[in-house]
A and B are shown apart, each in its own frame.
Chain A
């Protein structure tokens, strides 16, 4: 029984990992774009972007999942997500990407704005182009600053994927729960915790390694 449950949960965890990986892959670049928007000198860009960030960070992700999945049907009277598992997965992915992109954008903004203006000026007076200054001087300092908060968010994301359960997206919690009905046992649901723990442990090690690698220099 234990082996059977483990295999089955591993399968469910595959769904969790898929949602996790695709969310990261899409929300990190989107977050960078949003951060540029939120730092824009042009009010027409900056203010709406800041407004969206406020709404997304100020409401629960679970609510956002429901609004994004059911909202279009209610407002447009059309099912834009398509039917079945794939449709629900895409809706969940969309909600996760928007939510995490907003959080990441604030981290990026903090990281970029914390680099002293003197670093840009030093690059400029040394005859470096803006591009060279950014890639050779600024970028690594930004990365060093944002790795700890990014690692926090990423580890939160591992566990947040379980919220996709609310719109019946196939992942490990859903799988664990299914044993309650099919076999009358609840321990597989509790057992899912081990998978989350193992994976976030792995990520902690990975980020720890990255932080250590960046420890050769210090920033003010």
Chain B
């Protein structure tokens, strides 16, 4: 069976700056993958490429063997086609990006209910129940009718996770999900990500929480200056890094 995600030779430039160089890795279903590295190493750009927020200059992205992106084939990207492809991925942003004029429940329900209009296989009646279930899972059952400004950062981020899950993505991506949070609020967000990992949700987590990444993810990637320096099983990568750059980076976190 094909890997759930295959990334081949992704390259991305911003003007003259090479942000990503020859990125290649694969993921298996149910795997949690951490991407670590210093700011500017290209981690976030990589996630944005997977979610079609950036277009790689070179490379191929496949999900379950299906080619979603191939830089060699120009102009295959009409909006409707890209929208469909995007739905293989979910993205949780560093800054939550909840829609302020909708309640927590409405934030979770909005995109699925819009999709239901064009996809008759989605049952509209069950969407609210499903959204409540997800909020419940995030420990937010009593917050369903609150607006984002009435929620703490940690609660907002958990709503954002529920919102991403509501579309059943094949791969859920987290872009530094706790970096915008006060320290006392990171725990509650990490807890729900940990629970998702335990339920074998396929996830890519870009994070600076080293202990968490080591603990929760099956595999880890260390990026520096736009390249993957090292990848492997996360315990191994964190406890026994092979490359000097990886060792330096990890020890700089006092770990």
A121 contacts B97, C-beta separation under 8 Å = yes
A127 to B113, CA, bound (A): 11
Contact pick for A140, options B83, B84, B93, B101, CB 8 Å? B101
A121 to B87, CA, bound (A): 13
A3 interface residue (CB < 8 Å to B): no
A131 to B99, CA, bound (A): 16
Q: How far is the CB of A133 from chain B (nearest CB, A)?
A: 10
A190 interface residue (CB < 8 Å to B): no
Question: Which parts of A136-152 form the interface with B (CB within 8 Å)?
Answer: 136-137, 140-141, 144
A218 interface residue (CB < 8 Å to B): yes
Q: How far is the CB of B163 from chain A (nearest CB, A)?
A: 7
A124 to B53, CA, bound (A): 8
Q: How far is the CB of B220 from chain A (nearest CB, A)?
A: 24
Assuming A118-B95, A216-B147, A218-B149, is B100 touching A125 (CB within 8 A)?
Answer: no
Chain A residues within 8 Å of B53, by CB: 121, 124-125
Chain A 111-135 per-residue mask, 1 if CB under 8 angstroms from chain B, else 0: 0000010110110111111101000
Assuming A118-B93, A218-B149, is B163 touching A126 (CB within 8 A)?
Answer: yes
Count contacts on B: residues with CB < 8 A to the other chain.
30
Assuming A132-B114, A136-B114, A217-B149, is B91 touching A125 (CB within 8 A)?
Answer: yes
Q: How far is the CB of B24 from chain A (nearest CB, A)?
A: 23
Assuming A127-B86, A130-B79, is B100 touching A217 (CB within 8 A)?
Answer: yes
A116 to B95, CA, bound (A): 11
A128 to B95, CA, bound (A): 19
Assuming A132-B114, A136-B114, is B90 touching A125 (CB within 8 A)?
Answer: yes
Chain B residues within 8 Å of A119, by CB: 97, 99
B110 contacts A125, C-beta separation under 8 Å = no
Chain A residues within 8 Å of B2, by CB: none
A126 contacts B79, C-beta separation under 8 Å = no
B229 interface residue (CB < 8 Å to A): no
B167 contacts A127, C-beta separation under 8 Å = yes
Can you identify 24 A-B contacts, CB atoms within 8 angstroms? A116-B95, A118-B97, A121-B93, A121-B97, A122-B93, A125-B53, A125-B86, A125-B91, A126-B167, A127-B84, A127-B111, A127-B114, A128-B83, A128-B111, A129-B79, A129-B83, A136-B110, A137-B101, A140-B101, A141-B100, A141-B101, A216-B147, A217-B148, A219-B100
Chain B interface (Cβ within 8 Å of chain A)? Answer: 51-53, 79-80, 83-84, 86-87, 89-91, 93, 95, 97-102, 110-111, 114-115, 147-149, 163-164, 167
Chain A interface (Cβ within 8 Å of chain B)? Answer: 116, 118-119, 121-122, 124-130, 132, 136-137, 140-141, 144, 216-220
- Having A124-B52, A125-B53, A218-B147, one finds 9 other A-B pairs with CB under 8 Å, namely A126-B110, A127-B84, A127-B87, A128-B110, A141-B101, A216-B147, A217-B147, A217-B149, A220-B100
